[in-house]
Chains A and B, each alone.
Chain A
Amino acid sequence: MMSRPVVARATRTGQVAGWADDRLGLARVARKHLRKVFPDHWSFMLGEIALWSFVVVLVTGVFLTFWYKPSMGEVVYQGSYDQLRGIPMSEAYASTLELSFDVRGGLLMRQMHHWAANLFIAAMMVHMLRVFFTGAFRKPRELNWLIGLGLLMLGIVEGFAGYSLPDDLLSGTGLRIAEALMQSIPVVGTYVAFFVFGGEFPGDDIISRLYTVHVLLIPGLLLALVGLHMLLLVYHKHTQWPGPGRTEKNVVGFPMMPVYAAKAGGYFFIVFGVTALMGALLTINPIWAYGPYNPSQVTAGSQPDWYMGWLDGGLRLMPSWESELFGYTISWNVLVPGLLLLPLLFGLLGAYPFIERWVTGDRREHHLLDRPRNAPTRTALGVAGVTAYGVLWLGAGNDILAIIFDLSINTLIVVLRVLIFVAPVVAFVLTRRICIGLQRADRDRVLHGSETGVIRRLPTGGYVESHAPLSIEEQWRLTAHESPEVPAIGPAANGNGAPRPGARGDRLRTAMSRFLSGHDVAKPTREELEEAHHGDGHANGVDRVSEPDSGHRVR
């Protein structure tokens, strides 16, 4: 090995750095990564919200474990909340009350933990939508997309486990529903429920089991996957929006040190601050008002936290269908929304990058993002999914909607049952038309310039509107994407008239490809641009731009 140059040993800092470098080899790693470049856009910081709120959840969660007792052993409450003194309750609930009322800062920590958890999952979802709508899941990032989905799924399970731990009335009601979901599994459901709860509901095992899952198992998995997610992010490099000088082979942005580190570090404090403010000012999960769990009690407004809401909505919207097969009752009303909805969503999301890749036949790497309008069908599919999710959300809040807006809960359910099928289709069609309209508008702007609102009267008596030329950056931005293309397929039959192997798959692929990009608007070609700019002259002043299709340079 070559000896490394001994530099900067003169100063005290240099000595410390040198000591560490000699033992850890930091300089090589640091040299490479401290100058790592990240592109700058607000939407690239959504994942950071998730990361930083996860840190807040970890820190506040550690605090909570110092007082929380994961036990269903019965104690009589003697703490300082008057309205429950003398009531028998589980140690879990009593210790959560203690945290809320007798531990200094405990309620703040509980509320910060809960708000940060809500924000963590929400941020993961927003981040996922950003990645989906911009096509950032394409090669080489498919695996990171799947890891992200794993994180989201684990986050949801983790949240539900945490929601169940205080053993208050809502916790128990939620667990009761979870038990019903398990029981609805055909044939083995009862065994599964007994296995999980250690006997008949509620038993006295579930809280300590969920505790291990909540503080050890899932956080460990989450941390590992977050690490992997970030490693792959560094390895793949970050995607960027198209623009002058930005290609599939470079990353234009700011180096890790000092710019990006400062921004990310600063953003951490903002996330921490917002969570702290919410924890200090807004009540979340007032367990003292719910009371300890008692199977004979229930409260109006019993809902899960928001990330489970859509599943609860599915349960509320599903008609009460049951059938009996070979002596086993199949509860479709619980089975379908409770057990099939979650795998359906994650299955669709997980399969989408591979389906799109197969349909487009695109094997290239993509580091430049799509503007959502330039992938109208993908965008429309995403909006349809968001719409369906939203309808299920409304379903989960049907009782709250009914009282706030003076509606009939029955009518609301009927309307939502229709909307769950109709609204996504309407959203799909509308979104696709809007995207295509935006594409047309972009095309017009590239060909004719921006509308100025200045109307001129011609000597002949006609009126025309003046168009202003676009800047080169703007033209690049509007034309950086690829024109839609339906892949060509071979003939259905070979020369001898026999069916060509794979012809059927190709036909399906072509049909799907037409569905995916058949409606898209082609971007202007070089010829069209020249024609527009030098032709009849209605784009006055635009003729000095270079055409975006060919290799143009930034000034």
Chain B
Amino acid sequence: MLLTALLLTGGAYAVLSPASAQDDLAADEALVDRGRQLFLVGCASCHGTNAEGIVTSDGTQYGPSLVGVGAAAVDFQVGTGRMPLAEPGVQAPDKPAQYDDEETRALAAYVASLGPGPAIPEAEKYDLEGVDEEGVVRGGQFFLTNCTACHNFAGAGGALPEGKYAPPLQGTDPKYIYEAMLTGPQQMPVFSDEVITPEDKEDVIAYIQSLEENPSYGGFALGSYGPVAEGMFAWLLGIGALVGFAVWIAANSVRSKKRTKA
């Protein structure tokens, strides 16, 4: 009886869990093998030779275990250049990607083969084809509720504790925004498909895109940083210019004494 229950649960899990979509990537043994080679050269020094993670002598993590993070996490971290890390720090900054598309795929295949995790989303999930105007509005509400607290109202980015930060979203490839929501890289929470459905994720991306496509209605946007930038412009540009004009007027109207000829 117990065995049956276990089998059923296990079977149901295997069928229903995201890992069941564990794509063909992990099935392609040649690709997995190539990924393992690359991993041993470029990643193993921090993540361990079997991607099991490395714990330092004082108990902190040197590099986390990658078992079960899924192909999507690899595609995001490596594709945006965050991994491999140039130097240890509070957060991995994005930089030009160090691996080409084929190598990134191989690394993703290797990590996917280690355990079940979110797969790289198919292009139709984020190509915004099916998003109508209402979808953009709905995406905006999701964005304002879930994203702006860290990423700012215009996706200009924001500060997090201890030098960490939420990076700017402007100009980010829709695929990477999708993968970030799916895998929750670094400080970001995971917004799994159960929390924000794939359709809603696409709406959020559509809203971010629509902000970028908006003309800058009010003129130069001052970096979209809000009132701090506005205050700086009021003082440096506004007061600066007006004081400059005051000096000019006072120096150039009627002369208080005749100019002596040199």
User: In the assembly, what is the distance between CA of A159 and CA of B255, in Å?
Assistant: 39
Interface of B is mostly: helix
> When the two chains form their complex, are residues A289 and B224 in contact, meaning their CB atoms are under 8 A apart?
yes
Contact of B166 among A115, A267, A274, A300 (CB under 8 A): A300
Q: Among the listed A84, A115, A283, A299, which residue makes an inter-chain contact with B234, where contact means beta carbons less than 8 Å apart?
A: A115
- Cβ 8 A contact of B144, one of A122, A123, A294, A403: A294
Assuming A118-B234, A278-B233, is B250 touching A45 (CB within 8 A)? yes
For A402, list chain B residues within 8 Å (CB). 159, 163, 165
Any chain B CB within 8 A of the CB of A281?
Answer: yes
CA gap between A449 and B154 in the complex, in Å: 61
Q: B residues within 8 A CB of A254?
A: 253-254
Q: Cβ of A270: which chain B residues have Cβ within 8 Å of it?
A: 242, 245, 249
Q: Which residues of A contact B140 (CB under 8 A)?
A: 83-84, 291
> Are the C-beta atoms of B247 and A42 separated by less than 8 Å?
yes
Across the interface, do A45 and B249 meet the contact criterion of CB distance under 8 Å?
A: yes
Chain A residue at smallest Cβ distance from B220: A282
Would you call B230 an interface residue if the criterion is a C-beta within 8 Å of the partner chain's C-beta atoms? yes
B211 at interface (Cβ–Cβ under 8 A)?
yes
B137 touches A (CB below 8 Å): yes
Which residue of the partner chain A has the closest CB to B226? A301
A291 touches B153 (CB 8 A): yes
Q: How far is the CA of A296 from the CA of B160 in the complex (A)?
A: 19
A302 and B222 CA atoms in complex are apart in Å by 15
Enumerate A156-170 residues with CB–CB distance to B below 8 Å: 169-170
Which residues of chain A are near B8, meaning CB under 8 Å?
A: none
Q: In the complex, A150→B17 CA distance in Å?
A: 66
Q: Point out the residues of chain A lying under 8 angstroms from B160, CB to CB.
A: 409
Contacts of B165 in A (CB 8 A): 402-403
B21 in the interface (beta carbon within 8 A): no
Q: List residues of A (372-417) whose CB comes within 8 Å of B's CBs.
A: 396-400, 402-403, 406-411
CA distance A397 to B226 in the complex (A): 10
Min distance, Cβ B259 to any Cβ of chain A, angstroms = 14
B148:A49 contact, CB within 8 angstroms: no
Of the candidates B153, B222, B232, B251, the one having the most CB atoms from chain A within 10 angstroms of its own CB is: B153
Q: Shortest CB–CB separation between residue B89 and chain A, in angstroms?
A: 10
Give bound CA distance, A46 to B250, whole Å: 12
Decide if B235 touches A42 in the complex (CB within 8 Å).
no
> Which stretch (A199-207, A304-312, A480-488) binds chain B?
A304-312
Asked if A306 and B231 make an inter-chain contact with CB atoms under 8 angstroms apart, the answer reads yes
Interface residue A119 (Cβ < 8 Å from any Cβ of B)? yes
Smallest distance from the beta carbon of B131 to chain A beta carbons, Å?
12
Contact bitstring A103-146, B, C-beta under 8 A = 1, else 0: 00001000100110011001100100000000000000000000
Pairwise interchain contact A126-B148, C-beta atoms closer than 8 A: no
> How long is the Cα–Cα vector from A210 to B245 in the complex, in angstroms?
35
* B251 cross-chain contacts in A, Cβ below 8 A: 42
CB-CB contacts of B46-80 with A at 8 A, as 1s and 0s?
A: 00000000000000000000000000000000000
B216 at the interface (CB under 8 A from A): yes
With both beta carbons as reference points, the residue of chain B lying nearest to A409 in the complex is identified as B159
Q: Which of A29-54 contact B (CB under 8 A)?
A: 40-46, 48-49
Interfacial chain B residues near A263, Cβ < 8 Å: 249, 253
Identify which of B226, B232, B238, B242 contacts A302 (C-beta below 8 A): B226
Report whether B230 and A301 are in contact in the complex, using a CB–CB cutoff of 8 Å. no
B contact set with A: CB distance below 8 Å: 90, 133-134, 136-137, 140-141, 144-145, 148-154, 156-163, 165-166, 207, 210-211, 214, 216-222, 224-235, 237-239, 241-243, 245-247, 249-251, 253-254, 256
Interface, chain A (partner B; CB < 8 A): 40-46, 48-49, 82-87, 100-101, 107, 111, 114-115, 118-119, 122-123, 126, 169-170, 252, 254, 259, 262-263, 266-267, 270-271, 274-275, 278, 280-286, 288-291, 294, 296-306, 309, 396-400, 402-403, 406-411
State the 7 A-B residue pairs at the shortest beta-carbon distance, nearest first. Answer: A300-B158, A306-B231, A283-B218, A408-B163, A301-B226, A118-B234, A402-B159
